[in-house]
Chain A
Amino acid sequence: MLTPSQIDEFRAAVDPDGIITLKSQLQTYECDGLTNLRALPGIVVLPRSAREVQAVVRICARHKIPFVSRGSGTGLSGGALPAEGGVLIALTRMNRILQVDIPNRFAVVEPGVFNSQVSQRVASSGYFYAPDPSSQPVCTIGGNVAENAGGAHCLKYGFTATHTLGLEVVLPNGELVSFGSPAPDASGYDLTGVFIGSEGTLGVVTKITLRIVKRPEAVQTLLAAFDSPQAAGQTVSEIIAAGMLPSALEIMDTLAIEAAEAAVHAHYPRCGGLLLVELDGPASEVAALMPEVRAICLANGAGEIRLAQSDEERALVWKGRKAAFAAVGRISPSYIVQDGVIPRTALHEVLAEIGRMAAEAGLRVANVFHAGDGNLHPLVLYDRAIAGQEETALDLSYRILRLCVDRGGSITGEHGVGKEKQEALGYMFAEPDLDAMQRVRCAFDPEKIANPGKIFPRLHLCAEQAGPPTAHPLETPISAEAPS
């Protein structure tokens, strides 16, 4: 609980209208996109500058008050879930694009700038900002950095990490530091790299230098209808094996198509597995490769194949795909979005296994995923109103993540661990692996006040003396008679 005098300190640190203390207003901030987890912050502060962020964080550091950074709150893993009674730092007022440098292809922005605004700002020069989470009109660059956000076009263009050249960060002790630079390879450890994807646990980002990319001359989007997502998946593997690197390869199954149709009428062909292939680049190259893609689709039994004929048609295709999560709300009262990653080659087997597990649990799972990089988004559909169903659905969603790990993959491709997948992180990594990560945490935030209780499965204290090393499972040869 914050004391009145602490609240006064915070009040003095920001603009008069930059602090929220009324319970009714605090409720707006009690959860992010993972709405089943809620906590009420003690106060919300809305700083306008790095200096104000510093002032706020210094107070937190002085009194060891936990703080949580928040952008738009669209995160899907509970990353921006407040620390109960602690401080929530909402960065939405720091929303200026500070600099655009076309000849050097970078832009400097504040953390509250929305993802799409960067592309809009540089569009007239023929450039864009490549990472494109489906939430891009509303999610912030600060949130993207914290989650290492991806999107449909990451297959070719890479993730937030690929496109971030430098950061300005307020450390958990209130110090303001800069990492990286618009020139490549700044001397020293790549702190920009390690900060990206750290989910608000290493400090508050107050400025970001982003790479911008030339807009491709030509873009073509093809829809191909298959009997099953597996057939679509096989097509994806063959397109990649042919040496092509499409800008996007997305698959939707029957349920996901049905949901998207209900929500945005994208005019998708009704089928068991819909494949969306987008090629971009020099016009002659796109023109040369699209027939090859088409041939591979046909060879794998595609029924209807349709090329978007105009920018409007292409926009509609993407609208359907990007609306898929929310659209699932049309066909199910409640749903859980998961984010597991598998090696592309395991797609066939894993989808079949997910189907089997879903049937066993008596639930439906809709699949819409970034097939090119094996990033699944299984949507577990359920009804919260039915007693016990939420628990069954959660259990199913976690078992799907473990399945991904068992097949050599990861529990999260782009949504982060947050509050949701902490146990799963413990399944994916052994204790020594987590301990190595904690060393970074302890270097940045020894008091653990930045977004505490997230990512890691267990509480860890930053002891000054490291304990005796524990053996890694890799070190212990798998014994023939493992206990069953």
Chain B
Amino acid sequence: MSSSAVVSLEQTAAHLASIVGEEHTHLSGQTISAYPANASEIAEVLRFADSAGLAVTPTGGGTKLGWGNSVAAPILLGLGRMAALREHSWHDMTCTVEAGCAWNVMQAQLALHGQMVAVDPLWPDRATAGGIVSTNDGGALRLRYGSLRDLILGMTVVLAEGSITKSGGKVVKNCAGYDLPKLMTGGFGTLAVIASVNFRLHPLEKHARAWTATAPDPAELRAPLHALLDSQMIPCSAQLRMGPQECALDVRVAAVPECLREHEVRLQQIFAPVALAEPDPSVWRARESLFAQPGALVLKVTLLPADLCSIAAELRQQAAKDQIELAIVAQAFGLMTVALTAPPDAAFLFVERLRARLRPSGGSVVALQVPDSLRGRLEVWDCQSNALPLMREIKRRFDPNRILNPGRFVGGI
């Protein structure tokens, strides 16, 4: 840290106002929110924060600020003014969007040319491109289109000491230099501030249908789900929903109209004797309802795809035994969102058990939304990697003064 003098909150606010403008700087409590208009202003803010040793939390819609370890940063860097879809090369099926653009705003503009970024994140009305990328959030569409990391072509990011850098590119294929966007995706804003992202686009699904199979026990859905994934059908999404009473498997397929009928017949065969019904489209936003339960501990559980139904069944039994209220929305590629409402001790034990259960096969349990009763007690992250020292070294090389979201990420990064 080059500055030895301690800067007061007021001085900081005044300095930030001189960069982004008075009207785009707000002081509330111990936090100053500053809203830069472009990458150069982000750079100036970071340069100042870096030299003054002030921590910065970048934020978009603020929907996931609670994820990861809590950080008390004096500067909240709001990307809300950087919200434009800067470029949509529809013939090339690529786009460049500023980090603060709300997902649905972006999608609506891309839809004008029949295209989309094939990711269905949480709270798309408010969540922004930058925040979604930083937290690597995505929903059921990943089964068909891959995850965010497969759809990001390039980025412009601002490093802690204020240099603006580009990596990747705008073309769909590119292996020139290191793939830094991979580090930023899911990096929780600890390495750099994302200014804009270049995405690869897909055509909107013109003809799609969905079906739901319900069963009392998730174990009963195991064989059909396996058969589905091993079949020639390529569903866009396959999702298991489980509440205390019932569980359901939702399948969505997009195809040319001629084929949808055939897919339906195949599905009926796979699921027989369970009958198929048409689900309400809201099932694809079922993940959101888990976060809405007051006081619930919400977990992101990753596991081997073939274990999905059996682990869900195990968890349900365990929950019943321990009087835990449990709801699960799980994606067929091996990702579960789990909400549990339980006394702190029971919830704590549940998580520890599940971690131990999944560890040998490479799975993990990350606590996304932690009720106050467990804050500080429950380890949020679940990183067993022997590469943690290397991750710390990467952080040190990018942010030696630890101003970007210090402590939020795995291992206190």
> A residues near B, CB below 8 A?
101-105, 126, 147-148, 150, 154, 158-159, 161-162, 166, 171, 176-179, 181-194, 196-198, 214, 216-217, 237, 240-241, 243, 245, 281-285, 288-289, 341-345, 370, 373-375, 408-417, 421, 425, 428-430, 432-437, 439-444, 455, 466, 469-472, 474-475
Contact = CB atoms under 8 A, between A and B. Distances in A.
Contacts of B250: none
A50 to B, nearest CB: 13
A198 B165 contact: no
B203 A237 contact: no
Contacts of B233: 282
Contact of B203 (A158, A243, A474): A243
B60 to A, nearest CB: 20
B43 interface: yes
Contacts of B353: none
B262 A343 contact: no
Given A343-B171, A412-B176, 19 more contacts: A104-B306, A148-B179, A177-B385, A177-B390, A188-B391, A193-B179, A196-B182, A282-B255, A288-B256, A341-B171, A342-B171, A344-B91, A345-B92, A375-B173, A409-B171, A437-B178, A439-B394, A474-B164, A475-B39
B107 to A, nearest CB: 17
Interface stretch (B22-30, B142-150, B274-282, B314-322): B142-150
B167 interface: yes
A210 to B, nearest CB: 14
Contacts of B146: 158, 162
B67 to A, nearest CB: 12
Interface in B101-143: 114, 136
A413 B179 contact: no
B203 A197 contact: no
Contact of A435 (B165, B174, B230, B259): B165
B94 interface: yes
A105 B305 contact: yes
Interface stretch (B10-18, B73-81, B154-162): B154-162
B387 interface: yes
B10 to A, nearest CB: 27
B186 A189 contact: yes
Given A193-B182, A288-B256, A243 B91 contact: no
Most buried by A among B159, B176, B362, B387: B176
Contacts, number: 278
B180 A284 contact: no
B362 A186 contact: yes
Contacts of A408: 169-171
Contacts of A176: 386
A3 B78 CA distance: 58
Contact of A341 (B173, B206, B390, B396): B173
B91 A237 contact: yes
Contacts of A245: 202-203
Nearest to B331: A184
A342 B179 CA distance: 18
B89 A345 contact: yes
Given A186-B364, A214-B230, A439 B398 contact: yes
B381 interface: yes
Contact of A187 (B92, B114, B229, B382): B382
A185 B114 contact: no
Contacts of A343: 89, 91-92, 94, 170-171
B173 A413 contact: yes
Contacts of A181: 302, 362-363
A215 to B, nearest CB: 9
A440 B206 CA distance: 42
B86 interface: no
Nearest to B303: A183
B162 A469 contact: yes
28 contacts: A102-B230, A104-B304, A158-B146, A177-B386, A177-B387, A181-B363, A182-B361, A182-B362, A183-B363, A184-B335, A185-B147, A185-B364, A186-B385, A192-B182, A197-B175, A245-B202, A282-B263, A374-B173, A408-B169, A417-B177, A436-B159, A440-B180, A440-B394, A440-B397, A443-B390, A469-B43, A470-B163, A475-B40
B171 A374 contact: yes
